[in-house]
Amino acid sequence: MVKNTGRPGYLQIADDLRAQIQGGSLAPGTPLPSTAQLAEQYDASLSVVKMAVGILRNEGLVIGQQGKGVFVRDADDSPAAGEVAELRAAVQDLSVRLAKVEEQLATSTTRRSGRGSR
Amino acid sequence: MVKNTGRPGYLQIADDLRAQIQGGSLAPGTPLPSTAQLAEQYDASLSVVKMAVGILRNEGLVIGQQGKGVFVRDADDSPAAGEVAELRAAVQDLSVRLAKVEEQLATSTTRRSGRGSR
DNA sequence: CTAGCCAACATAGTTAACCTAGTTGGCTTG
DNA sequence: CAAGCCAACTAGGTTAACTATGTTGGCTAG
């Protein structure tokens, strides 16, 4: 799992978790899976998972409690809902579509196409 | 540097840089010192500096350009350090990638010299 | 002089390892 | 039984190393 959509893994995981939170799949007050579980689930290293969680923590969507876990914050508390979520969905959609185009382009062109634009 | 006040180092550095940006000490358009320079300046490891810069990047206060540097964004552009800034960064990312795709597409149509079309 | 190669330096991403610190539950000891 | 220790698991922070990719400027070959 995790890419190769050109979007870095830690952002993909953050996106996914954010979507689960805002989609209600992860209800407020419930804990996320542990770092180790997420790492296995996404087939990623612990580091990228920690980075992803760090982003959500930074955004205020979750609150980490040492020794216990990372808990989803109340949606009312975090001002993330609304048109912002809409824009986020749109951006994510564009990311996926663009990634596909980029991939097609990458496979149809050879490496090392000398473009010496300067 | 980087105290001892319980606040993690990467947040301290991010705070300091943020203050410099918003205080005008680092004007919009100007590049931050390189990662290595910041590491020496704050007497921190490269990792924590990268984390600090990553935060500012995530907040939309700065924009990193691979191979060139990390540049301070216009204060008007990045008002709220939050979801909006994040989305703006995502849009920026999409713009850059789309521009590249468009460029490749344009060159491949003009120069139709047998680039292995799969 | 021009074109192309190449080294140096930049950000960015990923991984792995180690340490701190809080929590929990079981086990041992008195 | 009760108190306390201890092992296991949790998040968080830090560091180091490696890879990828982009930019720039200097050097060299023609």
Q: What is the pLDDT of residues B53-103, one digit of tens each?
A: 999 998 889 999 999 999 998 866 545 545 566 666 666 666 666 666 655
Helix axes of A46-59 and A9-22: crossing angle, nearest 10 degrees: 50
pTM of the model: 0.72
At A2, is the pLDDT very low, low, confident or very high (cuts 50, 70, 90)?
low
According to the 3-state scheme, what is the secondary structure of A17-84? HHHHHHCCCCCCCCECCCHHHHHHHCCCCHHHHHHHHHHHHHHCCEEEECCCEEEECCCCCCCCCCHH
Under 8 Å CB pairs connecting chains A and B tally to: 47
Distance C21 C1' – A66 CA (angstroms):
7
CB B9 within 8 A of CB B44: yes
Q: What residues in A contact B101, CB-CB < 8 Å? A: 98, 101-102, 105
pLDDT tens by residue, A11-41: 999 999 999 998 889 999 999 999 999 999 9
Min Cα separation A82/chain B (Å): 11
CA distances from A112 to A10, A54, B38, B88, B101 (A): 28, 37, 34, 32, 16
Distance in Å from D19's C1' to A44's CA comes to 16
Residues of A in contact with B84 (CB under 8 A): 84
